Amino acid sequence: MSDKKTSNQMWGGRFASGPAAIMEAINASISFDRKLYAQDIRGSIAHSEMLAQTGIISAADQEKIAHGLNTILKEIEAGTFEFSTRLEDIHMNIEARLADLIGPAAGRLHTARSRNDQVAVDLRLWVKDECLRVAEALKGLIEALLARAEEHAATVMPGFTHMQAAQPVTFGHHCMAYVEMFARDLSRVRDAIERMDESPLGAAALAGTSFPIDRHKTAKALGFREPMRNSLDSVSDRDFALEFLALAAICATHLSRLAEEIIIWSTPQFGFIRLSDSFSTGSSIMPQKKNPDAAELVRGKTGRVTGHLVGLLTVMKGMPLTYGKDMQEDKESVFDAAETLDLMLAAMTGMVSDMTVNSAAMKKAAGSGHATATDFADWLVRTLGLPFREAHHVTGRAVALAEDKKVGLEKLSLEDLQSINPGITADIFSVLAVQNSVKSRTSFGGTAPSEVRRQIRGWKKRIAKA
């Protein structure tokens, strides 16, 4: 049987002459929706079982259908299945092959079903499976960050605002900030799964069906919590795809921020970390170069993921209920964003686990830029009882004096400091050392090593249960 003849039979008599080549090219989705083959077969088997259990088709026909679909699954996975663009999509390709394998019984499979609810359930299953993969990848990245945080809970480094040295923190504390970010990403994935855990199968084209189907049975068979409650919404909803792209874009943004810091930290000017050859490349002309290409690519791919979110939002914004062919544009964006995010997470987990930390360079930088000025002001408030605004002014004068003398705050003499405020005593020097500054930040969520270790212990328990 030729592709053209098969296509005409699928469409029916109105399209007896076959679609024009340009229509075929714009209409066909098999080049990308073939990714849904496993979900399509899974949904069809569940649908056929329900049809047999409700007496809509015979048990004998259902057995043939299930056997044929499992045969097709093996063919696709073995790479022997022949996909045809003339059959448009994964649904029609599988249905045509099923007819070849089992004959007329194949025609009973589509009873009480439309491609509208069929594609909706296929993509929803695929996105749900991808969310579970992303959740595992995020857990792996969080565990890698926790390991580095524990290793460097007391490693002093500069904390920045406006990319200017602000206050000393620890590298462990810095890693834990990303634990918080990626944990929020993980919670968004979990939330998205909860919202998409409803089955559209059985909504048919848009209005439901007159056949006595059991949508709760197919929902349960496919691992959904329950069926969707409105047939119109069932076939037209793509919120689950949008939400996946949104959480992917936010996660990619977090990955990009960490990638940017890795790029900065690995420069000779900072020298905070060193990436191994596994995540770096050299220059074709400059032999001294070691480029953080993996981090740069993570940073660059973020725009690609965000673009997919904007693209699908734009597709959906003008869609009246229910289904329109525009919605065929949902798949490529979701598939590519998923593949991109998976790679970004794997690369970042590798870089975090693999990087070498230069603790000495971090400690040296932590004392630059008068990073303990806030500790100076806090001491004036705590010890001399100055209002903070007055303490801020006194500290500013001390910083100006240190800059004039081209030394750090801790290098000013007691006489220098008492010339600014006579009440200052030698005790102030105890808070000007970066190590003491860091140790003093014991407030909940602060950078003190004791607090960082407490947060690490808490997150280890949470991730173990996630």
Amino acid at 244: F
Does residue 75 surpass a pLDDT of 50?
yes
Does residue 375 surpass a pLDDT of 60?
yes
Q: Where are the beta strands (DSSP E) in 217-337?
A: 226-227, 273-274
Residue pair 424/414 in contact by the 8 Å Cβ criterion: yes
- For the entire predicted model, the pTM comes to 0.88
The predicted-structure confidence for 388-445, as pLDDT tens digits, reads as follows 999 999 999 998 998 888 888 888 889 889 999 998 998 888 888 888 889 988 999 9
Identify the DSSP state of 282: -
Q: Could you tell me the domains of the chain?
A: 21-108 (1.10.275.10), 120-147+169-365 (1.20.200.10), 366-465 (1.10.40.30)
Which residues are annotated as catalytic?
162, 283
Query: The tokens of 279 are what?
Result: 């995540």
The predicted-structure confidence for 262-308, as pLDDT tens digits, reads as follows 999 999 999 999 998 888 765 544 445 578 899 999 999 999 999 99
- Does a cis peptide bond (omega within 30 degrees of 0) precede residue 383? no
**Contact residues for 293 (Cβ-Cβ < 8 A; gap 6+):** 279, 280, 281
- The whole-angstrom separation of Cα 161 and Cα 432 is 19
Query: The tokens of 257 are what?
Result: 């921020």
- The whole-angstrom separation of Cα 77 and Cα 69 is 12
- The whole-angstrom separation of Cα 125 and Cα 42 is 9
Question: ∠ at Cα 313 (309, 315), nearest 5°?
Answer: 120
Model pLDDT, residue 10? 54
Given pLDDT bands bounded at 50, 70 and 90, which one contains residue 5? Answer: very low
The predicted-structure confidence for 112-144, as pLDDT tens digits, reads as follows 999 999 999 999 999 999 999 999 999 999 999
What is each CA distance from 389 to 127, 372, 377, 378, 392, in whole angstroms? 54, 17, 9, 11, 5
Amino acid at 5: K
Query: The tokens of 124 are what?
Result: 């929803």
**Contact residues for 250 (Cβ-Cβ < 8 A; gap 6+):** 185, 188
The predicted-structure confidence for 224-253, as pLDDT tens digits, reads as follows 999 999 999 999 999 999 999 999 999 999
